[in-house]
Amino acid sequence: MPPHDEAAEEAVLGSLLIDPEAVFTVATLLKGEDFFVPRNRLAYEACLSLYSRNEAINQVTVAQELARRGLLAEAGGAAHLSHVVSTVPTSLHAEYYAQIVTRLALMRNLINAAGQIARIGYESGPDPDAALAQAEEMLFQLRRGRISRDFVPIREVLDKYFEDGGPGVRQRLEHIPFILTGFPAMDELLGGFQRSDLIIIGARPSIGKTSLALTIARNAAVVQGACVAFLSMEMSRESLVQRLIAAEADVDSHRLRLGHLSAVEEKKVVDATGVLSEVPFFIDDSPQLRVVEMRSKVRRLHNERGVDLVVLDYLQLVQGDARTRSENRVQEMSEITRSLKALARELDVPVCVVSQLSRAVIGRGSHRPQLSDLRESGSIEQDADVVLFIHRDDYYITAEEWSREHDLSKEPYPRGIADIIVAKHRNGPIGEAKLRFMSRTARFCNIEAEEQVAG
């Protein structure tokens, strides 16, 4: 028999049934396919489905979920659920049981990969390099599939640049009623990011949507002392920290990446690192995240530190559960956005999500984005409380083309000027705010007061 531990599997299920809070830890470690015994796998997947819908997890609800799917008998019936509850006196060791199950699942996957590698050897193909490459790829996929990345304090990433020093992330002493973006023009329109709101930041590639989200997160953490959870599925934690350092120190991000800094700039970087290392800013750069994993990670951090702002970069990289993936992308996106809104309400924090826009913006004469440009738009537009778009004329038109069509004495070329369009605001006005994008440091900043608000 392949390696497995039925008792550990039943202990995991029993822990979930007697203490639903255990799912916050277990869901980030275990997938349904990690269970060897089919009836245990079916029961665990039912638990995850209930959790994704924010419903209670207990013997009755799990039995109803299995019955709804027509799998109750196959899962051993209500008697098996009663049995697994009787196997564990407490859920205290749920994480330990889950680690046993996931370790043995890895061993089974390793055995399976070894069998496939043996088959490659028996086939005796004419190209040994191709055979080796195929075998290495199997092992690489196995290792990559088991890597579990989680939130880490920004200090741990900064330690790659400088020696560790000082205490850990400081604790907040006061409740923060709402999150200020750090841009008066935006805060005047929005009243800041309100708790329980789902905020979408949409733009075409290279416009600066990640930079805007990162700048707002930095302002919240540094200025307000807000605890920020930043989930980045596109950029690594090292790249994000380089951007933060460049913006905080006001040095060229490209020269910082290459290490070509003057003595004065190095001093500014050291000072910036000291500021950033003390703020409650947590980064998770897992390249692939399911909704259930993301929700569990954020909930766990919230229980430990009290999260004030969640930032997700970006929406289209989030994976739904297996059921919605088997249907179509629109339904999957609907489930994802509903889950994000539910997370915002559950934790009572603003959830800011970066989103791509469709190519329809390019074909439009003004190139100004609108709600219908959100990719897989219907559910995003419906579930969001606030939708922000970034529009920059200098992205679509050169200085020469602008000079031919405008009087430069009255309308100078808008280099770096970004219109932040509030296209939807469920609880307030819509309008526009003007910011300046600093490409040298990849950050947004305020411009002159008389130009801050438009529209």
Q: Rounded distance, CA 289 to CA 149, Å?
A: 10
Active site includes 332? no
Cβ partners under 8 Å of residue 444, min gap 6: 183, 208, 211, 212, 215, 418, 435, 436, 437, 438
Q: Which helix (H) or strand (E) holds 29?
A: none
Which of 267, 205, 257, 220 has the alpha carbon at shortest distance from 236?
257
HEC letters along 154-195: HHHHHCCCCCCCCCCCCCCCCCCCEECCCCHHHHHHHCCEEC
Which of 201, 200, 203 has the alpha carbon at shortest distance from 358?
203
- CA dihedral in degrees (149, 155, 157, 163; nearest 10)? -140
Q: Are 226 and 352 in contact (CB under 8 A)?
A: no
Burial class of residue 323 in the structure, from the number of CB atoms within 10 Å of its CB (0-12 exposed, 13-18 middle, 19+ buried): middle
Q: Are 322 and 282 in contact (CB under 8 A)?
A: no
Q: Nearest-5° angle of CA 291, CA 313, CA 150?
A: 60
Cβ partners under 8 Å of residue 8, min gap 6: 97, 100, 101, 104
The catalytically annotated residue of 234, 346, 381, 451 is 234
Question: How far from 282 is each of 181, 298, 306, CA to CA, in Å?
Answer: 18, 10, 12
Q: Are strands 453-454 and 431-438 parallel, antiparallel or unpaired?
A: antiparallel
Cβ partners under 8 Å of residue 314, min gap 6: 209, 210, 233, 234, 353, 354, 355, 356
**Count of alpha carbons within 13 Å of 226, Cβ hemisphere only?**
28
Q: Give the pair of three-digit tokens for residue 401.
A: 């083309």
Q: Are 418 and 392 in contact (CB under 8 A)?
A: yes
Catalytic machinery residues: 234
